[in-house]
């Protein structure tokens, strides 16, 4: 299997497990309030996955709190609601990670979970923990340009579908920026670092397809099932 496909499917499976209230034996589940993280520690590359938003009051409050907070020891500012969601699980998470020793981590998540994965990667790097890969699916913007630059040398796969509106929030005009390299998952191909005209074209095409009923709408485009379908279809073995 090609390395990109292997990494994507591995992280996708971990992101899916983060939504499972009863994960398989051997997986450590950390739950504090509405924040949930999972640690899959088998093998040489343990994987940390954060659960995305669920229809709970706590998640809605976190998602919609666009105010700025300092980036917990890193330069720049981050989304206050996302920071608060990560803070809930941070202390018990560090306790679990202490048992891993120096093994590099893969960190992943979908939706809100992708934003938490990004913030957690910056924090852990600051503390000296090696991060092998940050891989997110349908993640919103989590911080400002200064914060995003702290991750510019981090190996990152930031997957978005053109019709996924969550990836366009919070608004660019408010100062929020994405961190990491974009992989745009269209129905026909996975486009690495599309230039702005190509990205805009694919977003418009996805919106027109949704209006015509020939493509997924914004909600369907955000679902992990849509990401899995497109990755399995477009990334070669």
The active-site residue, picked from 7, 59, 63, 164, is 164
- Do 104 and 45 touch, CB atoms closer than 8 A? yes
Q: Quote the CA–CA distance of 48 and 80 in Å, as a whole number.
A: 22
- List, in sequence order, every residue forming a beta bridge with 125; answer none if it has no partner: none
* Cis peptide upstream of residue 152 (ω within 30 degrees of 0): no
Among candidate residues 79, 112, 229, 221, the one with its CA nearest the CA of residue 160? 221
Residue 68 φ/ψ, nearest 5 degrees: -90, 150
The active-site residue, picked from 59, 111, 144, 221, is 111
Q: Looking up tokens 């000296």, which residue turns up?
A: 128
- Is residue 164 part of the annotated active site? The answer reads yes
- Do 12 and 113 touch, CB atoms closer than 8 A? no
Q: Quote the CA–CA distance of 165 and 188 in Å, as a whole number.
A: 19
Q: Give the residue numbers marked as catalytic.
A: 111, 164
């Amino acid at each position: 299997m090609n390395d990109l496909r292997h990494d994507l499917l591995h992280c996708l499976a971990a992101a899916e497990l983060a939504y499972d209230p009863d994960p398989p034996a051997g997986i450590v589940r950390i739950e504090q309030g509405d924040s949930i993280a999972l640690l899959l520690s088998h093998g040489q590359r343990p994987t940390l996955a954060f659960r995305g938003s669920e229809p709970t009051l706590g998640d809605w409050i976190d998602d919609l709190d666009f105010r700025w907070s300092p980036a917990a020891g890193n330069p720049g500012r981050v989304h206050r609601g996302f920071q608060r969601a990560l803070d809930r699980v941070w202390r018990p998470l560090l306790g679990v990670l202490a048992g891993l020793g120096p093994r590099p981590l893969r960190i992943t998540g979908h939706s809100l979970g992708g934003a938490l994965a990004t913030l957690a990667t910056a924090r852990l790097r600051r503390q000296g923990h090696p991060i092998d890969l940050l891989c997110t699916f349908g993640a919103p913007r989590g911080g400002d340009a200064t914060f995003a630059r702290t991750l510019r040398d981090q190996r990152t796969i930031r997957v978005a579908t053109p019709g996924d509106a969550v990836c366009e929030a919070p608004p660019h005009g408010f100062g929020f920026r994405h961190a990491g390299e974009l992989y745009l998952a269209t129905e026909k191909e996975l486009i690495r670092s599309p230039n702005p005209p190509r990205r805009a074209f694919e977003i418009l095409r996805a919106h027109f397809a949704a209006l015509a009923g020939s493509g997924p709408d914004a909600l369907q485009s955000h679902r992990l099932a849509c990401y899995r379908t497109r990755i399995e279809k477009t990334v070669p073995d």
